[in-house]
Amino acid sequence: MPFTTTHLRLISPLIHPSSPSIRSLVSANTKPFRLSASSAAMDSNSSCMLVLSGKSLAENEIAESLKSNSTLKLPDNSEVSIHLQSEIVKQESFDVELFMNSLATNRFGRLLIWSPRLPSTHDVVSHNFCELPVGAVCVADVQFKGRGRSKNAWESPKGCLMFSFTIQMEDGRVVPLLQYVASLALTEAINYVCSRDGLPCLDIKIKWPNDLYLNGIKVGGILCTSTYRTKKFNVSIGIGLNVNNEEPTTCLNAVLRKLSDSTYQFRREDVIAAFFNKFETFYDTFINQGFQTLEELYYKTWLHR
């Protein structure tokens, strides 16, 4: 999945959490309706359901605004239904509370868009880039038009961690290096979860430029796309990782079962939260000190050594 540049239609300015129009949307007297979010209920003919939630009041106000204004769109203009996490009474898969409680960032991952089934998380964040705060993330349980190298489309089943998030940069010369920072953050996130929970260390490696291999088998990949607008690069980073789906290759939990008698299973929520916690630290180092500061750690995870 090489770094590529795409040209997307960008619509309106970034919404700021202190905007009076956003604050006016929150009403203590409004009682939200309740619904069930079921992956099984989402077939190819259904509208795409997007469920919004935030880490803090500021992000939740942005979520309120996005829903109230029906802001989020898909590239093909297919039907989208937007809901708040507070309206969901039954969510069968992604545990938003677990993710948010494990998240310790100041920017990344704090506004979450979750969907039980959608064409592509990458399309959601890239097509709506200017409507979202930097660091917003879209996660899907099932993805049926995922994007890969050479414009390949990928179907991603349940059990796979699929997410895309936004980032903005001014120096275009270092934008291609973001895929290396993201790759490193993902390997270190997996290592962190193993260490924290007393699990065997998994032999997760980076195959240049942006694929992840486990015991010599591909289990993940990273896609970065960018557009240039108003003297800034709007970058969308997409990540796919086989966490609990053994097909078509293998996954983290399948390898873990061979190494340990423990009943522990990697959870997508733990991995993505650990990823953002690592990525934010690495990104700040990358911006302030350059990638050379991360090179030694990066090469330790290289498959090509």
pLDDT tens, 59-111?
999 999 999 999 999 999 889 999 999 998 766 689 999 999 999 999 999 99
User: Which residue is associated with the tokens 């998380």?
Assistant: 121
Structural domains of the chain sorted by starting position, each given as residue range(s) with its CATH number in brackets: 20-300 (3.30.930.10)
pLDDT at 21 over 70: no
- Distance CA(3)–CA(221), nearest Å, equals 11
Supply the pTM of this predicted model: 0.84
Contact of 142 with 157, CB cutoff 8 Å: yes
CA 105-109-111 angle, 5° bins: 115
Structure tokens at 233: 């690069």
- Distance CA(155)–CA(144), nearest Å, equals 4
Contact of 169 with 233, CB cutoff 8 Å: yes
pLDDT tens, 137-194?
999 999 976 555 545 545 578 899 999 999 999 999 999 999 999 999 999 999 999 9
Task: Count the neighbouring beta carbons within 10 Å of the beta carbon of residue 267.
Answer: 19
Q: What are the φ and ψ backbone dihedral angles of 279, each rounded to 5 degrees?
A: -60, -45
Structure tokens at 191: 């290592």
